Amino acid sequence: MTSTLTFFGLLALALFIYSLWERADRRKEGVARRIAEDVRAMGDVVAQSLSPSINPSLCIGSGACVSACPEKSVIALVQGRAQLVNPLGCIGHGACATACPVDAIKLVYGSSTQGVELPILDSHFQTNQAGVYVAGELGGMGLIRNAVSQGRQAADHIIAGAHGRAPRRGVGGALDALVVGAGPAGISATLRLMEAGLSVLLVDREGFGGTILHYPRAKVVMTGVLDFPVYGKVRGQKLSKEQLMELWLDIQRRWRPPLATGHLVTGLSARADGMIEVVAEHASWRAASVILALGGRGSPRKLEVPGEECSKVSYRLLEPGEFRGKHVMVVGGGNSAVESALALADFGGCASVSLSYRRKEFARCRADNKRRIQECIQSGSVQALLSTEVVSIEGDAVLLSDEQKRMSRVQNDAVIVQAGGTPPAQLLASFGIQMVTKYGEA
C-alpha cells in the first residue's frame, strides 16, 4: 500500500515538474516568435558578418546552440527546431555552430535571397590595390579578437615590405602607413607599426575605441584572449564594456599612438609617385601603405543642407541626459531614428522631442518600434513631422518643407540626423577595391 502511494506521489510530482518545464518552453517559444515577427517587419534582413545557417532536416532540437549563444534572443527553438530569429543581433561568435551536437549549423555570409558584399582579400588582408589592406569586421568577420589579430597581420605584411613598396620613412612628408578606423583592428595595427619604428597615423571620424564606445552600458563582452602588439595579452573570457574602455585609456596613456580624430575618410587613390592619397572631409594624407579598419557600421548619411555643419547637429544619440531642457529634433524614419526619439521620450527631460521624416509612415522599422512610436505620438511625448524635409538648420530653429512645398519654422536646440548611411561596401567600391557578393556561402 505504502509503495503504491509513493509511486503515485512521485508520478504526480514528475508530471507537475514536466508541466512547469513545458509551460516555460512555450513561453520562450512565444517570445522567440514575437521577436522573429518584429524583425520580419523590416523585410529581408541578414547579418553583415558571418552568421549561422541552420539545416532544419539535421536539427534535433537539442537547444545546445541556444544555450551557447552569448547574445540574447538571437537564436531560439521554434517548434522543436533551432531558428535564427534575429539576424541583426548576431555578431558571429560561432558558439552556436561549435555547440551543435549534430553539425546542423554552418556559418555563412548572407542568405540565398540577400547577398552580403565583401572585399576580395589575399591571405595578408591586402586588397586588389597594392599597399591597401582591409582588417577587422570590414572584411566580413566580426569579433574583437579577430579584429586585433587581423590588424596585426596586415601590419606585419607592411613591415616586411612584402607588398613591394618598402616603407618610405616620411619621404616628402608622406607617412609609412596610415590606418583608418580606431577600433580594435586599427589600434592593433597601429601598435605593431609603431613597434617596428614606422611613421604611422591613426585616423577616425569619432574617437579612440571603435564600436565598443557605443555598446550599451555594462555590456558583457565575450572576447577570449586579445593579443595586442606591444601591450601584450589581455586575458579574460568575459570583459565589461567599462573594462575595455579602461584598456583603451591605458593603451593611449602608455603608448600614445599618433591619432587624428573627427576625420571622416571619403576618398582613396593611388598617386603617380607611388604613394596612396587618403582624403577626409577637411584633410588629406599621403602614405606608402593604408590599412582600412572601418568596421561594419558604415558612415551616416548627411542631409547636405545649409547649417548642417553647426555644433548642435549630431548623427548619433549617446546619452539622452545631454539634451535635458532642449527642443530636440530627430531626422529619419528607420529603426535608429525611431529608437532615438523613443529614448528621448522615455528620458522625459527634453523641452520637446520631434521626429521629421520625409515619408508618410515609418517604413523598414521593427514592428515593436512602430507600435511604441505610435503610442508616443498619440500621447504627445513625440511630435511627428511626417512628409517633411529639412531645408536648413539655424541657431534656434529648423526650417522644414512639406509635400506642398510649404515652409514651417520649428523651434530647436539640437538636431540628431539618423537618415541611413553609406554601407562600408559602397565606400570600398568607390575606392576601386574589388568586391564579391556572397549569398549564403561559407
Give the residue with the Cβ less far from ligand FAD, 184 or 307.
Answer: 184
Helix, coil or strand: residue 370: helix
Question: Minimum CB separation from ligand SF4 for residue 106, in Å?
Answer: 11
Give the residue with the Cβ less far from ligand SF4, 96 or 355.
Answer: 96
Contacts of 110 (CB under 8 A, 6+ apart): 46, 116, 437, 438, 439, 440, 441
In 3D, which of 293, 217, 208 has the Cα closest to residue 253?
208
The angle at the Cα of 390, spanning 211 to 266, to the nearest 5 degrees, equals 40
Residue 183 interaction partner, one of ligand SF4, ligand FAD, none, beta carbon < 5-8 Å per kind: ligand FAD
Give the residue with the Cβ less far from ligand SF4, 78 or 397.
Answer: 78
Give the residue with the Cβ less far from ligand FAD, 299 or 374.
Answer: 299
Separation CA 104–CA 100 (nearest Å)? 7
Separation CA 411–CA 393 (nearest Å)? 10
Give the residue with the Cβ less far from ligand SF4, 83 or 199.
Answer: 83
Residue 186 interaction partner, one of ligand FAD, ligand SF4, none, beta carbon < 5-8 Å per kind: ligand FAD
Q: Which amino acid is at 89?
A: G
Give the residue with the Cβ less far from ligand SF4, 68 or 377.
Answer: 68
Give the CA distances from residue 62 to residues 56, 74, 83, 99, in Å, rounded to whole numbers and listed in that order.
Answer: 12, 16, 12, 10
Residue 137 interaction partner, one of ligand SF4, ligand FAD, none, beta carbon < 5-8 Å per kind: ligand FAD
Question: Minimum CB separation from ligand SF4 for residue 75, in Å?
Answer: 4
Handedness of CA 58, 61, 67, 70 (dihedral sign): positive
Give the residue with the Cβ less far from ligand SF4, 74 or 185.
Answer: 74
Question: Minimum CB separation from ligand FAD for residue 422, in Å?
Answer: 8
Q: Kindly list the residues in this chain that would bind ligand FAD in the complex (CB under 6 A).
A: 91, 136-138, 142-144, 147, 180-186, 203-206, 210-212, 215, 221-223, 263-265, 293-295, 297, 299
In the block, residue with C-alpha cell 571620424: 205
DSSP assignment letter at 275:
-
Question: Minimum CB separation from ligand SF4 for residue 32, in Å?
Answer: 12
Give the residue with the Cβ less far from ligand FAD, 49 or 83.
Answer: 49
Judge whether 185 and 141 are in contact, CB under 8 Å: no
Separation CA 388–CA 404 (nearest Å)? 10
Residue 75 interaction partner, one of ligand FAD, ligand SF4, none, beta carbon < 5-8 Å per kind: ligand SF4
Question: Minimum CB separation from ligand FAD for residue 61, in Å?
Answer: 26
Question: Minimum CB separation from ligand SF4 for residue 148, in Å?
Answer: 18
- Residue 228 CB: number of other CB atoms within 10 A? 20
Residue 95 interaction partner, one of ligand FAD, ligand SF4, none, beta carbon < 5-8 Å per kind: ligand SF4
Residue 328 interaction partner, one of ligand FAD, ligand SF4, none, beta carbon < 5-8 Å per kind: none
- Which grid cell sits at 236? 579574460
In the block, residue with C-alpha cell 508616443: 376
Helix, coil or strand: residue 355: strand
Residue 342 interaction partner, one of ligand FAD, ligand SF4, none, beta carbon < 5-8 Å per kind: none
Give the residue with the Cβ less far from ligand FAD, 151 or 167.
Answer: 151
Question: Minimum CB separation from ligand SF4 for residue 324, in Å?
Answer: 35
Question: Minimum CB separation from ligand SF4 for residue 141, in Å?
Answer: 11
Residue 51 interaction partner, one of ligand SF4, ligand FAD, none, beta carbon < 5-8 Å per kind: ligand SF4
Burial (Cβ within 10 Å: 0-12, 13-18, ≥19) of residue 72: exposed
Residue 215 interaction partner, one of ligand FAD, ligand SF4, none, beta carbon < 5-8 Å per kind: ligand FAD
Residue 52 interaction partner, one of ligand SF4, ligand FAD, none, beta carbon < 5-8 Å per kind: ligand SF4
Separation CA 39–CA 37 (nearest Å)? 5
Contacts of 48 (CB under 8 A, 6+ apart): 116, 140, 296
Give the residue with the Cβ less far from ligand SF4, 97 or 191.
Answer: 97
Give the residue with the Cβ less far from ligand FAD, 282 or 406.
Answer: 282
In 3D, which of 148, 46, 149, 28 has the Cα closest to residue 107?
46
Question: Minimum CB separation from ligand FAD for residue 420, in Å?
Answer: 15
Judge whether 187 and 251 are in contact, CB under 8 Å: yes
Residue 377 interaction partner, one of ligand SF4, ligand FAD, none, beta carbon < 5-8 Å per kind: none
Phi, psi at 212, each rounded to 5°: -55, -35
Q: Kindly list the residues in this chain that would bind ligand SF4 in the complex (CB under 6 A).
A: 51-52, 68-69, 71, 74-75, 90-96
CA 51 to chain centre: 14
Separation CA 265–CA 298 (nearest Å)? 11
